[in-house]
Chains A and B, each alone.
Chain A
Amino acid sequence: MLLNQFLLLAAALFCIGVYGVLVRKNAILVLMSVELILNAVNINLVAFGSLTDDVGGEVFALFTIAVAAAEVGIGLAIVLLMYRNRRSIDLSEADLMKG
Chain B
Amino acid sequence: MNSLLATALPFVTEGPSEVSSVTNDASWFLENAWIIPLLPAVSFLLILFFGKRMPKKGAEFGIAAVGIAFVLAVLTGFSWLDHRDNFDGPLAESPSVTADDGHHDDDADHSDDVDHSDEADHSDEEALGVAVIDQDGTSSSDTVVLTVEAEGEGGGEHAYVAVQKSTQWLQSGGIEFNAGILVDGLSVMMLFVVTLISLLVHIYSTDYVSGDRRYTHYFAFLSLFTASMLFFVLSDNILQMIVGWELVGVCSFALIGHWWEEKPNSDAALKAFLTNRVGDVGLLVGMITLFFAAGGGQTFDTLAINNAINQGTVGHTALVVAAAALMAAVMSKSGQFILHTWLPDAMAGPTPVSALIHAATMVVAGIYMVARLYPVFFEGMQIGGSSINLLSTVGAITLVFAGLLAFVQTDIKKVLAYSTVSQLGYMAMALGVGAWTAAVFHLFTHAFFKANLFLGSGSVAHAVHSFDMKKSMGGMKKFMPRTYITFIIGSIALAGLPPLAGFWSKDEILVGTGGWGLFGGTGGNGAYTFHLLMGMVGAALTAAYMTRCIYLTFHGEYRGNDAHDDDHAHADDDDAHAHHGDPHESGPRILWPLYILSGFSILVGFLNLPKGLTGVPDSWQLRFEHFIEPAGASYFPAIAHGAPSWSLAIVSTAIALAGIGGAYWYYFVKVDGLAKQTGQHLTELPNGFVTTNKLARTGHKVLVEKYYLDHLYTGVIAGFTKGPLARATYWVNQNIIDGFINTTGETAVKVGRGVYDKIDQGVIEGVVNGSGKVSDATGEELRHINTGKVQNYAAILFAGAAVLAGAFIIALAL
Check if B786 sits within 8 Å of A98, measured CB to CB. yes
Closest residue to A34 on the B side, CB-wise? B794
Digitize A68-99: 1 where CB-to-B-CB distance is under 8 Å, 0 elsewhere.
00000000000000000000000110111111
Nearest Cβ in chain A — how far from B780, in angstroms? 10
A81 to chain B, nearest CB (A): 15
- The A1-56 residues at the B interface (CB cut-off 8 A) are 18, 21-23, 30
A96 and B791 CA atoms in complex are apart in Å by: 13
Is there contact, CB below 8 Å, between B790 and A98? Answer: no
Whether the pair B791, A21 counts as a contact (CB closer than 8 A) is yes
> Which of A18, A21, A22, A97 makes the CB contact (< 8 A) with B788?
A97
B794 engages A21 (CB within 8 Å): yes
> Smallest CB–CB gap between A16 and chain B, Å?
13
Interface string of B700-741 (1 = CB under 8 A from A): 000000000000000000000000000000000000000000
CA distance A30 to B788 in the complex (A): 16
CB of A65 to closest CB in B, whole Å = 22
Contact of A92 among B779, B791, B798 (CB under 8 A): B791
Do residues B788 and A96 form an inter-chain contact, with CB atoms below 8 A? yes
B789 touches A95 (CB 8 A): yes
Chain A contacts for B787, CB-based, 8 A = 95, 98-99
Question: Which of B779, B783, B794 lies in contact with A22, CB distance below 8 A?
Answer: B794
- A-contact bits for B791-803, CB 8 A (1 contact / 0 none): 1001100100000
Across the interface, which residues of B come within 8 angstroms of A95, CB to CB? 787-789
Interface residues on B, range: 10 to 19
CB nearest to B790 among chain A residues: A91
Contacts of A23 in B (CB 8 A): 791
A97-B786, A98-B786, A99-B783 known; A18+B791 contact, CB < 8 A: no
CB distance from A61 to the nearest CB of B (A): 21
Contacts of A92 in B (CB 8 A): 789, 791
Instruction: For the complex, give the distance between the alpha carbons of A30 and B794 in Å.
Output: 11
Docked Cα-Cα span, A96 to B795, in Å, equals 18
Residues of B within 8 A of A30 (CB): 791
In the bound complex, what is the Cα–Cα distance between A99 and B779 (angstroms)?
Answer: 9
Closest chain-B Cβ to A53's Cβ sits at a distance in Å of 24
Residues on the B chain within 8 Å of A98, using CB: 786-789
CA distance A91 to B790 in the complex (A): 7
Q: Are A99 and B795 closer than 8 Å at their CB atoms? A: no
User: Which residues of A are found within 8 Å of B782, using beta-carbon distances?
Assistant: 99
Within the complex, the shortest CB–CB distance from B801 to chain A, in Å, comes to: 9
- Count A/B pairs, Cβ under 8 Å: 36
Question: Chain B's nearest CB lies how many Å from the CB of A26?
Answer: 11
Q: CB < 8 Å: which of B788, B790, B794, B798 contacts A99?
A: B788
Query: Inside 8 A of A99's CB, which chain B residues have their CB?
Result: 779, 782-788
A7–B347 Cα distance when bound, in Å, is 72
* Smallest Cβ-Cβ distance to B799: which chain A residue: A22
Hey, which chain A residues are within 8 Å of B794, CB to CB?
Answer: 21-22
* Most chain B CB inside 10 Å of its own CB: which residue of A21, A23, A99: A99
Say yes or no: A94 contacts B798, CB within 8 Å.
Answer: no
- Known pairs A18-B798, A22-B798; A91 contacts B786 (CB<8 A): no
Chain A residues whose CB sits within 8 angstroms of the CB of B791 once the complex forms: 21-23, 30, 91-92
Minimum Cβ distance to chain B for residue A90 (Å): 11
Query: Chain B, 761-782, contact with A by CB distance < 8 Å: what is the 0/1 string?
Result: 0000000000000000001001
* Residue of A with least CB distance to B789: A95
Report B-chain residues with C-beta under 8 Å of the C-beta of A94: 788-790
With a CB–CB cut-off of 8 A, which chain B residues contact A97?
786, 788
User: Nearest-CB distance from B266 to chain A (Å)?
Assistant: 35
| Alpha-carbon gap, A73 to B196, bound state (A) | 57
Could you tell me the distance between the alpha carbons of A21 and B798 in the complex, rounded to whole angstroms?
10
Distance between Cα atoms of A30 and B791 in the complex (Å): 9
A18 to B796, CA, bound (A): 12
CB distance from B809 to the nearest CB of A (A): 14
Tell me the minimal C-beta distance from B682 to chain A in angstroms. 67
Q: How far is the CA of A18 from the CA of B794 in the complex (A)?
A: 9
Who on chain A is nearest to B794 by CB? A21
Q: Shortest CB–CB separation between residue B541 and chain A, in angstroms? A: 66
Please, how many angstroms separate the alpha-carbon atoms of A99 and B784 in the complex? 7
Nearest-Cβ distance from residue B93 to partner chain A, whole angstroms:
55
Chain A residue at minimal CB-CB distance from B779? A99
For residue B791, give the distance in angstroms from its CB to the closest CB of chain A.
Answer: 6
Question: Which residues of A are found within 8 Å of B779, using beta-carbon distances?
Answer: 99
Q: Point out which of B783, B789, B798 has the most chain A C-beta atoms below 10 A from its C-beta.
A: B789
For the complex, give the distance between the alpha carbons of A99 and B794 in Å. 16
Distance in angstroms from A27 CB to nearest chain B CB is 9
* Minimum C-beta distance from B274 to chain A (A): 39
Q: How far is the CB of B335 from chain A (nearest CB, A)?
A: 53
What distance in Å separates the Cβ of A35 from its nearest Cβ neighbour in chain B? 15
Residue of B at shortest CB range from A27? B790
Within 8 Å CB of A21, what residues of B?
791, 794, 798
- Complex CA gap A23/B538 in Å reads 84
The reply to whether B795 and A91 form a contact with Cβ atoms under 8 Å apart is no
Instruction: Give the residues in chain A near B788, CB-CB below 8 Å.
Output: 94-99
- For the complex, what is the distance from the CA of A3 to the CA of B789, rounded to whole Å? 38
- Are A91 and B789 neighbours in the complex by a CB distance under 8 Å? yes
- Write the nearest CB–CB distance from A46 to chain B, whole angstroms: 21
Q: What residue in chain B is nearest A95 (Cβ atoms)? A: B788
The smallest C-beta distance from A57 to any residue of chain B, in angstroms, reads: 21
Chain A residues with Cβ below 8 Å from B789 are 91-92, 94-95, 98
Contacts of A18 on B, CB cut-off 8 Å? 798
Give the complex CA separation of A29 and B786 in angstroms.
23
Cβ < 8 Å to A, chain B residues 379-424: none
Does B786 contact A22, Cβ atoms closer than 8 Å?
no
B795: which A residues are within 8 A, CB to CB?
Answer: 22
C-alpha spacing A21/B801, complex, angstroms: 15
Cα–Cα, bound, A98→B792 (Å): 11
| Min C-beta distance of B782 to chain A, whole Å | 8
- When chains A and B are docked, how far (Å) is the Cα of A92 from the Cα of B798? 18
Output the least CB separation between B761 and chain A (Å).
32
A91 to chain B: which residues have CB within 8 Å? 789-791
B798 neighbours in A (Cβ, 8 Å): 18, 21-22
Which residues of the partner chain B approach A22 to less than 8 Å between Cβ atoms? Answer: 791, 794-795, 798
> Could you tell me the distance between the alpha carbons of A36 and B667 in the complex, rounded to whole angstroms?
90
Query: How far, in Å, is B229 (CB) from chain A's closest CB?
Result: 47
Cβ < 8 Å to A, chain B residues 436-468: none
B784 to chain A: closest residue by CB: A99
Which residues in A have their C-beta under 8 angstroms from that of B790?
91, 94
Docked complex Cα distance between A44 and B789 (Å): 30
Shortest distance from the beta carbon of A11 to any chain B beta carbon, whole Å = 12
> Separation in Å of the B201 CB from the closest CB of chain A?
50
Instruction: Give the complex CA separation of A53 and B789 in angstroms.
Output: 43
Chain A residues near B783: list those with CB within 8 A: 99
Closest B-chain residue to A18, C-beta based? Answer: B798
How many Å from the CB of A28 to the closest CB on chain B? 14
Most buried by A among B782, B783, B786, B791: B791
Docked Cα-Cα span, A95 to B789, in Å, equals 5
Q: How far is B789's CA from A96's CA once the two chains are assembled, in angstroms?
A: 8
A31 to B788, CA, bound (A): 18
Docked Cα-Cα span, A96 to B790, in Å, equals: 10
- B787 → chain A, closest Cβ, in Å? 6
Task: Write the chain A residue with the least CB distance to B785.
Answer: A99
Which single residue of chain A is at the shortest CB-CB distance from B802? A18
Question: A94-B788, A95-B789 are known contacts; what are 9 more A-B pairs with Cβ within 8 Å?
Answer: A21-B791, A91-B789, A94-B789, A99-B779, A99-B783, A99-B784, A99-B785, A99-B786, A99-B788
- A/B interface sample: 15 pairs, CB < 8 A: A21-B791, A21-B794, A21-B798, A91-B790, A92-B789, A94-B790, A96-B788, A98-B786, A98-B787, A98-B788, A99-B779, A99-B782, A99-B783, A99-B785, A99-B786
Chain B positions within 8 Å of A, measured between CB atoms, are 779, 782-791, 794-795, 798
Q: Which residues of A contact B (CB under 8 A)?
A: 18, 21-23, 30, 91-92, 94-99
Q: Give the 8 A-B residue pairs with the shortest CB-CB distance, closest first.
A: A99-B786, A98-B788, A95-B788, A99-B783, A97-B788, A95-B789, A22-B795, A21-B794
